[in-house]
Structure 1
Amino acid sequence: MASRHGFSLQCSLPTGKVLSAGEVDAWELKAARRGLKNLKTLLEGQAMLDLLTKQIEESDAYFKAIIAKSKGQFNESRIDFKAKGITSSQFLEWFKVIGGRQTTEGRRQFFLDTMAPAHPEHYALGPYPMGIIETIGLHVCRLRVDNAVEVPDFVKAYGDASYGKKLPVTGFLDDGTLFFYGFQELRDTDDGCDFRFRIIFPAAAPQDLFDEHTEHLAIEFRSWIATAFESYQK
């Protein structure tokens, strides 16, 4: 599979087929996802919240210090996608599920079917109409999300006029402290859709928070775009 400093390792099947590192990595990823799904199913709801309470409290203090130090200045974490085979209208119609479901069982299935598979560090839904407990940078954070709040002009200024559809959103810590803005954009192409997903964090946050969340956006929205496409193939 690999060779480094004189070490090499080769894996093969009884048929003699030699497996690449990528093939075994894919098996490992499949098993990791299966294991996470099992744990998240067993811990879904209050059990997960109880488990993470101390980390969430520590993160709230950490993020509040960053917010204060930033003095109202922000920077973006962003990822772009080009998708074929799905339009912006199709994705947005499917994306309505992100608003959650109102019954206890509906919210449970929404989390397990849609949110949990989208990213390994989606731990639980928050106790709000829209919200989630997830890792921001390197810290577990309980977020309340609101897409009805009017975002400031400086947030809108991140937008690109060539993207016709825009999805602003505002994120708060559990006590209502404003934490971030989101400003997502979509535009149809001849064979699909371009997506631009960004979160605008307080500027004093360390670079690893911006880098880690760019990775986070890439993972979760790749999952959601692919899932949306698959829903239209059924």
Structure 2
Amino acid sequence: MTTTTPLRIRTDIDGVRHDRAAVLGWELERGRAALRLLKQRLGDDRTRDLLAPDTAAADTAMAGWLRASDGRWRAAVTELTATGIDAAAFLAWWQGRLHAPDRAALLAANPEHYLADSAGDTVEIVETVGGGPLRFFLRFHPTPATAAYPVRIGGTGHLADGSEVLRVMHEFADSPEGLRIRLTVEFPAAAPDELSTGHQWHFACEFANWLEAAATAVGESR
């Protein structure tokens, strides 16, 4: 009878022991650096061309789900709380990156951000939505405040043919617990669940990274 021994890995570098989490942390940082380099080298035009088959397939799928939904939408929400930065400081940094436009900061927030061109009033985006890349054009619009969220930024995402395929609402408020951010995305109701659940994690990833970048920038400016 044989027994299975659990895998354990020990790493020693210059006499210092590092656990598996430390090595994975190093891998994450190097993976981010590799992605930044590849995205910089590709540029927007080559990225569009490279992903054209994927975005064309996504256009077809989204158009079908939109027809099947018959005007019905399904919402999914992600909420974050952060200390060490307030709403005004974060929004000044984040909106500044959009208006700059700061392509590096916009792409770095999520490994599945392939293109983010915010040079005009509309942000052209290629990012993973569901199972693959989707190209859409996001337009933000003024949104009334509420008692719970003094800053609300709504937006609609359209395909190149003008079809509305997603809606977002970004809400911000300061509280005793810290900066509260509520992020809502709506997709056509007939779309697979993976679009909604995937985008909840997508929001969690990108906004946490933007919060860290904003906090670093604010700290460096003091």
Using the size of structure 2 for normalisation, the TM-score is 0.88
Aligned to 1:227: 213
CA-based RMSD: 2.3
SS at match of 2:206: helix
The secondary structure found in structure 2 opposite 1:217 is: helix
Deviations 1:124-146 (A, max 9, x none): 13587212111111121111011
Q: Deviations over 1:105-159 (max 9, x none)?
A: xx5xx112x1111000111135872121111111211110111377xxxxx9xx9
Q: Deviations over 1:41-82 (max 9, x none)?
A: 110121111111111111100111111111111112221111
Say if 2:35 is the partner of 1:36: yes
Identity score, percent: 26
Kept after mapping to 2: 8 A contact 1:126/1:133: no
Q: Which amino acid aligns with 2:162?
A: G
Equivalences for 1:159-198 in 2 at 5 Å? 161-190=147-176, 192-198=178-184
Shift >2 Å, 4+ stretches:
4-7, 14-19, 97-101, 125-129
Structure 1 residues 56 and 183, CA gap change in structure 2 (3 angstroms): same
Q: CA deviation at 1:11?
A: 2.1
Distance 1:14 1:163, change over 3 A: closer
Pair 128,75 (structure 1): closer, same or farther in 2 beyond 3 Å: farther
User: What pairs with 1:190-229 in structure 2 (closer than 5 Å)?
Assistant: 190=176, 192-229=178-215
CA separation of 1:149/1:173 partners in 2, compared to 1, >3 Å: closer, same or farther?
farther
SS in 2 for 1:182: strand
Determine helix, strand or coil for the equivalent of 2:204: helix
In terms of mean alpha carbon deviation, does 7-16 or 33-42 score higher?
7-16
Structure 1 partner of 2:116 = 125
> What CA distance in whole angstroms lies between the structure 2 residues aligned with 1:218 and 1:5?
37
Structure 2: gaps (5+ residues): none
Q: Partner letter of residue 63 of structure 1? A: M
TM-score normalised by length of structure 1: 0.84
SS in 2 for 1:201: strand
Q: Is the contact made by 1:56 and 1:142 (CA closer than 8 Å) also made in structure 2? A: yes
Amino acid at match of 2:126: I
CA distance in 1, matches of 2:119, 2:188: 23
**How many residues are treated as equivalent by the alignment?**
216
Give the secondary structure class of the aligned counterpart of 1:10: coil
Shift of the alpha carbon at 1:188? Answer: 0.9
Identify which of 131, 135, 142 aligns with 2:135: 142
* Counterpart contact for 2:136–2:160, Cα < 8 Å: yes
Name the CA distance, whole Å, in 2 between partners of 1:124 and 1:190: 36
Distance of 1:125 and 1:164 partners within structure 2: 27
Distance in 2 (CA, whole Å) between partners of 1:12 and 1:99 is 41
What is the CA–CA distance in structure 2 between the aligned matches of 1:226 and 1:55, rounded to whole Å? 31
